[in-house]
Amino acid sequence: MKEVTVEATLESIPVITEFVDGQLEQFDCPVKAQMQIDIAIDELFSNIVHYAYHPGTGPATVRVEVIEEPLSVVITFIDQGVPYDPLAKADPDVTLSVEEREIGGLGIYIVKKNMNEITYEYKDGRNILKIRKEL
């Protein structure tokens, strides 16, 4: 398992993405899966930036772990901000037109659809969100 801790700012997203992509390259991650993971990183880390420490900032840790059976990557996002469960909100009604749809929730919906598993817990004063993607 490898991890990196950065300041929860939008400027840290490329740092996190590069860190995760570097781990994925060691396992010949398919390009499609890597793109889906990169989109998930952007969405989930943006949520930390906008909700965890608002209006300030604080540390955020991202862990990458590879599991052998089935070959999967587990990425864990950890922050010490206010409790925020992005999975608690109902999925948007994607059958509605853009004009009819409520604002928000589409990014996490896309993450849910592209990952094999996503979990959230608030434990010991920390938000812990995990995604798993089979490679």
| Domain segments of the chain as ranges | 2-134
- Which tokens belong to 5? 């801790």
pLDDT tens digits for 79-114? 999 998 988 877 666 666 666 656 655 678 889 999
Phi, psi angle pair for 84, to nearest 5°: -150, 110
Query: Is 0.75 surpassed by the pTM of this model?
Result: yes
Per-residue pLDDT, 61? 98
List, in order, residues 6 or more apart from 10 with CB less than 8 Å away: 46, 49
Q: Which of 7-16, 60-69, 77-86, 94-103 has the lowest mean pLDDT?
A: 94-103
pLDDT confidence band for 55 (50 / 70 / 90):
confident
Return the closest-CA partner of residue 134 out of 3, 39, 16, 24. Answer: 24
CATH 3.30.565.10 for domain 2-134? yes
Per-residue pLDDT, 69? 86
pLDDT tens digits for 16-53? 999 999 999 888 889 999 999 999 999 999 999 999 99
Q: Where is pLDDT greater, at 124 or 69? A: 124
Cα dist from 104 to 89, 101, 108, 109, whole Å:
10, 9, 9, 10
Rounded distance between C-alpha atoms, residue 19 and residue 59, angstroms: 16
Per-residue pLDDT, 112? 93
